[in-house]
Structure 1
């Protein structure tokens, strides 16, 4: 009997302590390899070995290899390998993710699915198993031409998650996105800065309606745009002069003493009888309908333009670039109010530890291990903050930007 390694065709053998037959076959470069057939019956094992040999001899493509795997799966299990089209799977995957994701994250995931289906064109109706690594790499590269490298990498990460789910559902034998590398990013030197007091005044004068309150809250709480826009009356304790809520980014529980300008503003608007009513209903509606704060960021940018603090952006639709075009960086944004709050408190002599607790850490782990700052100390820090929108306050005050937290809006 010839050794399986000397046979010109695929053969099978058993290894000690294994109930399965192993296929022995030759790769195109002449290398002999062994692979388990997961078969205990000799005749079925030989069929699987022949499939491996045929795949190796014909130098088949990745897609053809997936078809071989499908055939093997059907013979071994006695049932068809579950299959769906690319579009069918991605649509069903999004439906499942809807119960797990926040509204803003769901919008981002839906955008990736839409982008990939558009990139795939008519091929989105093909079976999912025909998606190759090169397909995913091509999608990544096409996206990278329109958005920043960081955004392209985030989209790749979401797509990788989708194909992982397909693999777990046994719709594909391997994740085609696993071997697609992220794009290397250059370290950006761009940084946002704080508004100075003169700029804050101009900004406030240019704002109308709810946006005056949004700016007041942004400066005197140091919180993010999305968190402020979705505050309700049940987050406000006027008797104790406190704001209580959980941040959307990391779920950090915040208790912030209310500065006098915030209390004055709340006294000017009607609370109503519903504690779940939003403080800024128009801004909250944008978050509810759009699922993210980007539209509010655009509205705030227009206020900065009106205040002479930013140049009007070119119309992307007119330039046929669409929403996927790379955004122009601007050193000022709503998040700059967070930097301004930090600078104003530090210039008023508030210790960095209290400033950090007031603004809130971005990491749950850091927040849990950070030395607890007494609320009374934070209240004293709040009392030191001037009413920058009053006519009496002058000077630059908030230009100090040391130890800014560096987070984007």
Structure 2
């Protein structure tokens, strides 16, 4: 192993010694600084040293030509100083390589979602469509708060809805949160990003005439169950998955109720069914060995989504601004306008707290106003 004074000129012409596969030239001025020359012609700057246990180790600085001689020598001197102070450059590199990528965090997050979430496919879609294309190959400790904030701002600028951008942030933050709990990373960079304030409330309610128009349009749909589903949404106020995943065994005609074993708020509840709702249920087609209340007749399984047939029906009905969730709001508005108090409406809809029902308070005020006007008319002598 020849020892020479390494410099730019020597490294430029240095070659592997004849008959050998590799020759290492050790610098006389910087301990451990080495030029490795291979029989193939490949050359690289290396650094050799003994760790705290006396074990000989080596770490590559860079292939020859990728950095200048002075830059390589500077790195070798820096690492030499670290060794003298008890450091271990090779161990630092191994430790860096051991840091998981975001793809590793995503796989862990998806595994957690499969075990603990009722609808893991929602998390899977956000990770697959948005997070992995941007962060998959990045080391988790290299993803900064600034990087994430900039990316979210770009998503908003590209036209994504504020609620969607917030979902991306929450999902990414959950990936890091799980990694922190398992000791894979030291910190969650998403925590430093403030929550964007936005109003995601959609106060679109169907009038009785609009509801009838939508049902009529749904009856013309190629989807044979669409009219049944829309009618039941309007009569019950159920969430989309609550109705799509409903089973025959949970319909109780005697109690006039539908039992939901698992809801958005995590516990089962009984939803009261009006006589009109039960009449619709009694007319539903039943399929052999099929437990679902309103399944897809082709697959005998619950619908995964109703986007296309619903879009067609709402356009035909001249109601382009409504969504499937508008049907739930409309069911609530019909009850409130009929004089039902907000507490009862909240119980029927499965609201966990009173605040969720307060969005319908202006409707309740309208009903109360009609009541006081009627009382005033009575007091003023209108006894007819």
Q: TM-score, normalised by structure 1?
A: 0.56
Q: CA deviation at 1:297?
A: 4.2
Render the CA deviation track for 1:150-198: whole Å, top value 9, x for unaligned.
Answer: 321221121112122223333333223232333x33446x642321121
Query: Using the alignment, how far apart are the partners of 1:347 and 1:114 within structure 2?
Result: 42
Pick closer, same or farther for the CA change 1:169–1:211 going to 2, 3 Å. same
Q: CA deviation at 1:231?
A: 0.9
Contact kept, 8 Å, 1:94 with 1:110, in 2: the verdict is: no
Query: Using the alignment, how far apart are the partners of 1:307 and 1:289 within structure 2?
Result: 22
Per the alignment, residue 194 of structure 2 pairs with: 181
Per the alignment, residue 363 of structure 2 pairs with: 401
Pick closer, same or farther for the CA change 1:88–1:212 going to 2, 3 Å. same
Pick closer, same or farther for the CA change 1:173–1:361 going to 2, 3 Å. closer
Query: Using the alignment, how far apart are the partners of 1:73 and 1:173 within structure 2?
Result: 21
Render the CA deviation track for 1:233-291: whole Å, top value 9, x for unaligned.
Answer: 011012333222145321343323322222222222344564x611111299799685x
Q: CA deviation at 1:207?
A: 0.8
Per the alignment, residue 280 of structure 2 pairs with: 265
1:169 aligns with 2:190: no
Aligned equivalent of 1:238, options 253, 256, 261 = 253
Aligned equivalent of 2:165, options 121, 138, 152 = 152
- Secondary structure, counterpart of 2:190 in structure 1: coil
Aligned equivalent of 2:234, options 219, 229, 243 = 219
Per the alignment, residue 358 of structure 1 pairs with: 348
Per the alignment, residue 100 of structure 1 pairs with: 116
Query: Using the alignment, how far apart are the partners of 2:365 and 2:168 within structure 1?
Result: 31
Q: CA deviation at 1:366?
A: 8.4
Render the CA deviation track for 1:21-72: whole Å, top value 9, x for unaligned.
Answer: xxxxxxxxxxxxxxxxxxxxxx99xxxxxxxxxxxxx9xxxxxxxxxxx969
What RMSD over aligned residues (CA atoms) do the two structures have, in Å?
A: 3.8
Contact kept, 8 Å, 1:345 with 1:355, in 2: the verdict is: yes
Q: How does 1:1-400 map to 2 (within 5 A)?
A: 80=95, 82-103=98-119, 105-120=120-135, 124-145=136-157, 146-182=159-195, 184-187=196-199, 191-208=202-219, 209-246=224-261, 248-272=263-287, 274=289, 277-282=291-296, 290=304, 295-310=305-320, 330=321, 332-363=322-353
Identify unmatched segments of 5+ residues in structure 1.
1-42, 45-57, 59-69, 311-329, 371-399, 405-409
Query: Using the alignment, how far apart are the partners of 1:176 and 1:270 within structure 2?
Result: 52
Contact kept, 8 Å, 1:229 with 1:280, in 2: the verdict is: yes
Pick closer, same or farther for the CA change 1:337–1:89 going to 2, 3 Å. closer
- Secondary structure, counterpart of 1:243 in structure 2: strand
Q: CA deviation at 1:351?
A: 4.0
- Secondary structure, counterpart of 1:170 in structure 2: coil
- Secondary structure, counterpart of 1:177 in structure 2: helix
Query: Using the alignment, how far apart are the partners of 1:136 and 1:228 within structure 2?
Result: 37
Pick closer, same or farther for the CA change 1:236–1:289 going to 2, 3 Å. closer
Render the CA deviation track for 1:296-342: whole Å, top value 9, x for unaligned.
Answer: 245323211111222xxxxxxxxxxxxxxxxxxx3x22333333333
Count of matched residue pairs: 273
Render the CA deviation track for 1:368-406: whole Å, top value 9, x for unaligned.
Answer: xx9xxxxxxxxxxxxxxxxxxxxxxxxxxxxx93479xx
Pick closer, same or farther for the CA change 1:101–1:177 going to 2, 3 Å. same
Identify unmatched segments of 5+ residues in structure 2.
1-51, 54-74, 76-86, 367-384
Per the alignment, residue 28 of structure 1 pairs with: none
- Secondary structure, counterpart of 1:255 in structure 2: strand
- Bigger Cα Rg: 2
- Secondary structure, counterpart of 1:281 in structure 2: coil
